[in-house]
Every structure is written in C-alpha cells, then in structure tokens.
Structure 1
Amino acid sequence: MAQEEASQSIRTLSGSERRLTSDSAMPTVSSDFEGSSFDTGTMSGIIASTGAPNATASITSTDEPLTRLVGGNPTTAISGNMTATSTAPRPSNTQPCNNYPEFCSRKYSNITEVCAHNSPFTRKNNAGSNQEFGVTQQLNDGVRMVQAQAHFVNGTLYFCHTSCDLLNAGTVEAYLTEVTTWLAAHPFDVITIIFGNFNYNDKDANGAPLVTSKNFVDPVEKSGLKQYIYQPPKTAMTLEDWPTLSELIISGKRVITFIDYNFDTDAVPWLLWEFYNVWETPFSPTGNAFPCTIGRPDGIGDKKARELLYMANHNLNVEISIAGMNLLIPNTVVLNVTNGVNGTGSLGEMTERCTNNWGRPPNFLLVDYYNAGPTNGSVFEVAARANNVAYNRSCCGTESLAAGLVRPAATCLGLVVALAVALMV
C-alpha cells in the first residue's frame, strides 16, 4: 500500500494475534485526546479520518490480544505484507458500542435506545421538568437519544418548556456544547438528537416560516457539534439504508439529528426531517393504554411505517393549570409502574406489545425521569430485552458509569489514529 493511501482513513482493525506498529511520530494524548477517558487496558477500537502525514504501518505477530471494532469489510484480515486474507480466524469484539459489544455490527436501525423526553428540562420543583439529571448524566447512564423543544427568542434559540417564563433551560448552544464535550470523551458512542421547533407556525414579514432548519446551524456550529454529525446519502432513509454503529464510529460521524417541523434539507442536509425517517406512537397521553398505532405523521400507511424507524412514546401525564395555561406534566406518582419492566401500563408491556404488532421492537423508547422505576435502570432493562442482550449495567446517579466501561489504552489509540490503515481487498 502506498504511504499516501495509508494516511487517509481507517477502515477496520482486525486480528486477535496481530498488532500495528509504526515508525512515524505518534500524537500525544494531551494534544489529541484532551478530556477523553482512557484506561490502561487493551486497545479497543478505531478513530477515523486523520491527517497524519507520511504514516507507514507494518503488522507484527504478538501474543498480546487486540479487540476488534467491527466495521468496513468484516470478513477481511490484514496479513503481514498488507494484503487481505480470509484465512485467519475472525476475532471477537469486546469494545462496547453504545454500551454493548453486540451493537457494533448492528445497523443503527436495528437497535432499541432509551430517549430522554425533554432532556434539558431538569429544574427542581418546577412543573415543567421532565428529567432529574442533566444531559451529561443522562448520557453517562445510557441514554442515547435526547429531545427537547426549542424557542426562538430575540434571535436566539433557547430550550424552553411551553413558555420560557415557565422553564428556560438556557440556550441551545450551551446545551449542545455540553453534549459535544461528552462525545469527545466517548469515541465509541452514537447518539440521536431531535430538535422540536416550537415556532413552526410563526411567519416573518414576508409570510415565510420564521424558524426553520437554518436557524439551528449557528448553535450547532458554535457548540462544536457539527464535526460529529452524520449526513446520510438521502434525506428519507429506510431501515436498510442506515449504516452500522461501527461504520458511524469509524467515520467519526456519530450524531444523527432530526427536526420535527419546518425542515430545509436543501439548505441544511444533515438536519433531517424526523417524519421522513421516523414515525411515533401517540404522545402526551393521560391514560396508560399506550397504543402502538401511528400518531405522527398523518397519512402514513402501515406498509411505509414498516420501512422506517419508530418511537414508542411512553410518558404518562396529568393536566394542570398554571397562570392561565393548561399544561400536561409528568405523572410522577406512578413512575414505578410507567417505567417498569412488567405489568399493565409499563414500558416493558408496551414494548412487547409494539414488537408483536410490528414484527420488531421500537427503535426509541421516550420516557420521563428515566432514572425512576421499580428498580434502578428499569427502562434500560426494557431496552436490553428488546435488543436481546443481557442488562449488565447499573443506574442511575451522579457518578460516571462510563468510567467502568472498557476504554482503549491511550498509547494504542494514538497509534491507530496516526497510522490510518486502509484495508485492501
């Protein structure tokens, strides 16, 4: 392989009996991975798209095991002269992707994740709150989709619940900056963000929509999130179109973004219209029937729905009146049932029923107070059952659970980033 080819992109690292070596200078952890959390264990994974100049690589035999992040061509291994061979036994992956090694080789569309409904709204003793912990703790605990309602106020987007006078959680930029910081420290995780556009009915002086996808570009870019956002090959993706988690991780594009209304994919192709790609069950119910029928968008048929991602809305509400406003707020009294694994009205019961109805589990389970339930982590146990994996984590609190996960050794990860080895087939 030519040296210039080797410096462009990493496709996959493969082999339990081979390791990479290089005569090029390695990037330092302090300059290239500042803020990241690594332990001193086995090298496990790949970071993509590096500009390391004149990197060369060789393969040497060793008894020291290397774990594999499955991606690129999963049946190809690297031989000593940098040609492909399929004679070596396939190694097993031990690096978690979104908390489970099994997810690395799965399509994004073939995984059930917990979604924090109104993720930024965590104000204590405020009727507009939907979560107890902030977004960093949500992500540490295992949430992989976040959602919230954005309000356009004096030219700036804020996350507010119904009214910024009721609950103002700060600017969208500040929230996304926190998410970006977390992403930088967790290179093997893929997350999804849904932006709710509160002002979708507002018009400017010319009668055009006041707030569209274009208004979200500024906070996304200023927060640093843009570098992580995946732009699909088309704006309306089917289940088969989505890449695997490992492919997203290898590419470095580990964030999927949607907007619910006033999309403009011509101007902002990476901010997808939610309802071209995702349908939802009825939302904001005050009864615990939690139907698995199509709530949004209008007019979608069952045949089309079976080709798309779908979200099970499972947040039970009560209606109250505050300052002349009728509001639906979380029914916290019955969270032990609503967020439970079993029983009438439970998240587990709804997930099983939707799975039976549609022949596959929901992709996203939208919940309030994800940390509440009959047991710690009950909503994540429901997701694990839907994913057919063993729930083996703990939840939920103020300590970073991510610190307990397998992380790559800093020197080995730096080695992989510097080499940028592309397989030849």
Structure 2
Amino acid sequence: MRPIPLSLLAAAALASQLVGVLAQSSSQTDDTGTIINASPASSDSDTQTDRTTSTASASSSNSLALTGTATTTESANFESPVYSPTSQIRVTTRSSSTTNTDTSSSTGSGSSTSSSSNTNSNTHSNSTVTTSSGRTTTQTITTITGGDSSTSTRTTGSATSSTSTGPVPSNTVPCNNYPEFCSRQYSNITQICAHNSYFSVKNNAASNQDYDMHTQLDDGIRMIQGETQLVNGTMYGCHTSCDLLNAGTYASILSQVANWVESHPYDVVTILVGNSDYEKGVTAKDYVQPFEESGLMPYLYEPEYVPQRRNQWPTLGEMILSGKRVVAFIDYNANQTAVPWLLDEYTHFWSTPFSPTDPDFPCSLQLPLHLDNETAKEEFMYIANHNLNVRFNLGGYNILIPDTYHIQRTNGKYDQFGQLGAMTGNCSEIWNAPPNFLVVDYYNRGDPKPGSVFEVAAKANNVTYNRQCCGNGNGGDGSTGTLSATMSMLVCTVAFSLLLYFVSS
C-alpha cells in the first residue's frame, strides 16, 4: 500500500485549519521533620526573648491520624521547600486494593520550645505563624513532612535552645493538590494524563485538548504526553506528521513544563515521550539536547533501581524534598545506562489498548508483549487509555480521530457504560489496584460537569476533589456537536484529496 504523500497531508492540514476557523465562530469556550526556629528578617530590638510552641492534629478518610508538632519556617524570599539532611520521611503501611490509600493508624504528640534573651514573640498554631515585632519582613513556609521522635540541645554563648519533637502531623501543604499524597508512594496514586497534551493548537481539528499545557497543569493534569519526530536534526512535537500538526520544537514544549514546575515547588510532574521515529533509529540519546535546553535537568528524577518496581518508589514528599520532581519516561528505545533520567516506559508500566474504539474500554494488558498478568499486577504500575476514537476507512487508509460527540460520556464519573468512572472501577477490581494514570482527551469536558475526570481520580485515591475546573474557572468548550461536525468536514476533505490523488495517479 502506498504511503500518503506529504503534500496530501499538508493539504489536509490546511483544510483542517480552514475548517477550524469555521467551527470557532459557532463554538463556546466552557498547592523535615526537624524543628527550625523562626526568626524575623529584621528587628529594631537587640535583645529578645523568644518562645515558640506549635501543635496540630489532622485526620482523613484514609485512616491516617497523627497529632504532633507542625513545623514552619520563615524566610523573606520563598523559592523552594526546606531540606535538611537529617530529615526523616514517615511512610505508613500501604495497601492498594480498589483505592490508592494509606491504611495504617498511628498517633503521636510533641512540642517545640526555644528561648533566648529577647523581647519579641512568635506564636505558631496549626501550621500558621503570627509575628509581632517592631519591624519584620517574613513569609511562612510549611514543611512537607517529618521524622521520628528526637530531642536535641544546643548552647551558643549565653543562649540555650532545646527541641523535643514527636511524630509530625498530616501535612497542611498539598503535594499534587492533596496533603494526603505527601506520604504516599509515587506508585500508589492515580493521576490524570492529558492525551497528546501539547496538541491544543487552535483552529486545528487534529488537536486533542482545548487548553495549553500551563492551564492543564494548573487544573490538575500531572502527566504530559505526546508524539515527537526528529526532522533535520531537531526534535519536534508533531501529530502523525509535522505537516498535519506541529506544536513546535520539543525543547520549547518542555520549557513550558519547566517554567510551571519552577513556580510550583510542591508538585511532581510526569512526562511521557512518544518516540514516533523509533523505527528510524531515534533513541533516548536524541532527547538529551531538548531536555537540556528546556531547563528541566535540575528537576529530573533518577531511580535507585533499574528497573524500579512498584513497591520501590519514593513518596511524593521525598521527591519534593530532594528537588527531583519530574519523572520522564520514553516508550521506545530507552537507554537508562546512557540516559538514566529517561526511564523505559515498558519496564515500569503496562498499558491497556491504545487508541481505543470500543466504548466498553476493556481493562486488558496490551503492552509490553509477553508480560504475564501476575508480574504485571505485583511489580508494574499501569496506564489506562480512556480516549475514545472513531475509525474511518478512506481509500484503504485507516484514520482515527477523537470521538468528541461522546466526550462527555467518555469522561463521565459514573459507573455507567463507556464512562471513565466505570473503567476505573473495573480495572481496580481486575488488577487489585486502580490505574496510575488515566489518559483522556479534552479533560475539561465531562459528566455531570467539567472536572469529572479529576473526581474519578480522587475517588480512586480515597480523597475529595473540591477544586474548580477548568481553564481558570471557564468550564471549557461544551460544543461537542460542532467539533464533531468539524472532524467530519476534515474527514471529507481528506477523502476528497485522496480521491483526487488516486484518480490522477
């Protein structure tokens, strides 16, 4: 069978943009366990008496209840979480069945007291700080998580500081939007992936998302995924062909993620590289340059084990404290010896069928090949592809496009046919754990309302979703009929182009 000529794809791309312009006019766009004494940035007094005591308690539906010292520090300029080499991370016993949750129960108590010659006082309560002084410039930072009981005494000159701590309470600062996640392993959380994340080009019917990546991340997307192609020595983010949809250089795409990560120090983001040119010999080494140019290198996580099994992953709190908050995977031609921070997807994840066209969404293992179910269940994380497609046969060519007509149902939260809620529940029952990533198109659309995909993930994680979605409060484009018509027009355009091609040849 003859390949589709690039000129034909270019014609289809042009037609796609023209159709998009028509559609645009009728569519609507619907947040160390070591106690660190707080000190003011400046003060008019030379002698001071300072006493700081903080206590807090927290409980959640995951049966984790801790009482102890809530730790805060103060800094004039906050850039990143405080890291202490003596920090110890509390990891509770984990149990994954049909929800991602911590099931252990523990209690503790503690306090922190320090004194010196001082006339200024600070009071900490429930991880907040109130400062009273003549002239002070401060900003409160709440630490991520804490360590075991310890007591230390330090004497400097005539001042003596004594600190006694017990187990630190549940965090008040969220990790990936939920305080509960700080003590959970990376491999024990369900998160949402925006399928073909950076293919959100306006007026292009080949797009899979309504919003740009910055907005996606703001809304709660935590996996960025998409195809890449190497063209004349430069890596690009292209959908099927760079003539059809080109989102720009991959370095520029990654730099958008780097900018967001830099300004969100309590979040862990995952990147899944789609190596479309793997059969042409493109390998992990070819991605080093765009990652280096993007500014992501300081954040990239390198696993302790190769491969790293499901129970060997750190908690989000540990990753945040270390500063290594970006996990990058590549689907084909990984080389973790040469590029240790670009992980092999299929030695860490298995996945359900790609580009699904069956609205029943069977939760069966497709890749990697020859992986047995028991090993997959015990040692691998997994990805559930829940982006419904429609298949067209045009002149012998199979073309898949997103089924936007049924997108509300597909992204729905209920346990009903075709809905994301039903697939997640089904997968959880079959594999004794919910998926780690749910891959969706147009994440902002759903049933009963925008953000339903995040409600599904929250239920799997045994937490409550109470954020506003999506796109800074704008519910997103609900005009599925118009977009479906746009897709149909694109298909007709491609079909007509193919007909002309075959007639003339």
Report the TM range for the smaller structure's normalisation. Answer: 0.7 to 0.9
2:52 matched residue in structure 1 = none
1:388 correspondence with 2:442: no
Aligned pair partner of 2:389 in 291, 313, 317: 317
Distance 1:20 1:78 in 2: 18
C-alpha distance in 2, partners of 1:131/1:100?
Answer: 24
Q: Establish whether residue 116 from structure 1 lines up as the match of residue 166 from structure 2.
A: no
Show the 5 A alignment for 1:84-99. 88=166, 90-99=168-177
**Alpha carbons of 1:88 and 1:356: their partners in 2 closer, same or farther (altered >3 Å)?**
same
**Which runs of structure 2 are paired with 1:256-405 in the superposition (5 Å)?**
256-306=327-377, 307-320=379-392, 326-342=398-414, 343-374=416-447, 375-398=449-472
Q: Distance in 2 between matches of 1:94 and 1:233?
A: 29
Identity over aligned residues, as a percent? Answer: 50
Task: Answer yes or no: is the 8 Å Cα contact 2:227–2:239 preserved in 1.
Answer: yes
Q: Closer, same or farther in 2 for the Cα pair 1:107/1:258, shift >3 Å?
A: same
The correspondence of residues 201-220 of structure 1 with structure 2, limited to 5 A, is 201-202=279-280, 209=281, 211-220=282-291
Check 1:216–1:323 CA distance in 2 against 1; reply closer, same or farther (3 A cut): farther
Deviation sequence 1:359-382 (CA, Å, 0-9, x none): 111100000000011211000000
Q: Any conservation in 1 of the 2:200–2:209 contact (CA below 8 Å)?
A: yes
Unaligned runs of 5+ in 1: 1-11, 34-44, 51-57, 203-208, 402-425
Name the SS of the counterpart of 1:97 in structure 2.
Answer: coil
Question: What does residue range 137-152 of structure 1 map to in structure 2 within 5 Å?
Answer: 137-152=215-230
Paired residue type of 1:257:
A
Q: Which residue of 1 aligns with 2:81?
A: 46
**Structure 1 contact 48–249 (Cα < 8 Å) conserved:** no
**Residue 184 of structure 2: aligned partner:** 106
Q: Which amino acid aligns with 1:361?
A: P
Distance in structure 1 (CA, Å) of the matches to 2:250 and 2:164: 48
- Could you tell me whether the CA contact under 8 Å between 1:114 and 1:144 is conserved in 2? yes
CA 1:86–1:295 in structure 2 vs 1: closer, same or farther (change >3 Å)?
A: farther
CA offset at residue 48 of structure 1?
Answer: 3.9
Are 2:292 and 1:232 equivalent residues in the alignment? no
Say if 1:22 and 1:174 are closer, same or farther in 2 by CA, change over 3 A.
Answer: same
Residues 226 and 247 of structure 1: is their aligned pair in 2 closer, same or farther, counting only changes over 3 Å? same
Point out the structure with max Rg over C-alpha.
2
> Do the aligned partners of 2:408 and 2:446 also contact (CA within 8 Å) in 1?
yes
> 3-state DSSP class of the match of 1:312?
strand
What is the Cα deviation at residue 293 of structure 1? 1.1
Q: C-alpha separation between the residues in 1 aligned to 2:249 and 2:368?
A: 28
> Which residue of structure 1 aligns with residue 138 of structure 2?
none
Structure 1 residues 241 and 265: CA distance shift in structure 2, 3 A: same
| Higher relative contact order (Cα pairs below 8 Å, separated by 6+ residues) | 1
Give the whole-Å Cα distance in 2 for the aligned partners of 1:135 and 1:369.
12
Distance 1:136 1:325 in 2: 35
1:135–1:284 Cα change, 3 Å: same
Q: 1:167 to 1:87 in 2, by over 3 A?
A: closer
Q: How do 1:128-139 and structure 2 match up within 5 A?
A: 128-139=206-217
Q: Does the 8 A contact of 2:227 with 2:274 survive in 1?
A: yes
CA contact (8 A) 2:230 2:277 kept: yes
Cα distance change of structure 1 residues 387 and 69 upon mapping to structure 2, 3 Å threshold:
farther
Does 2:19 align with 1:19?
no
How big is each residue's C-alpha offset from its partner over 1:178-211, in whole Å with a ceiling of 9 and x where there is no partner?
A: 1100011000000100000000101xxxxxx2x1
Q: Does the Cα contact within 8 Å between 2:389 and 2:401 map onto a contact in 1? A: yes
Name stretches of at least 5 consecutive residues in structure 2 with no aligned partner.
1-31, 43-73, 86-111, 116-121, 129-141, 156-160, 476-505
The residue type equivalent to 1:386 in the other structure is: A
Amino acid at match of 2:348: N
Contact 1:97 1:245 survives alignment (8 Å): yes
Distance in 2 (alpha carbons) for counterparts of 1:14 and 1:400: 42
Amino acid of the residue matched to residue 179 of structure 2? P
Q: 1:381 to 1:21 in 2, by over 3 A?
A: same
Q: Give yes or no for contact 2:189–2:436 (8 Å, CA) kept in 1.
A: yes
Separation of aligned partners in 2, 1:49 and 1:220:
28
Match of 1:223 among 269, 272, 294: 294
Separation in 2, partners of 1:86, 1:221:
44
Counterpart Cα distance in 1 of 2:456 and 2:75: 41
Two-structure CA RMSD over aligned residues (Å): 2.8
Q: Secondary structure at the match of 1:19?
A: coil
Question: Would you say the 8 A contact 1:370–1:379 is kept in 2?
Answer: yes
Change (3 A) 1:85 1:21: closer
Which residue in the other structure is 1:251 paired with? 322
> What's the CA shift for 1:177?
0.6
Residue 137 of structure 1 deviates from its aligned partner by: 0.3
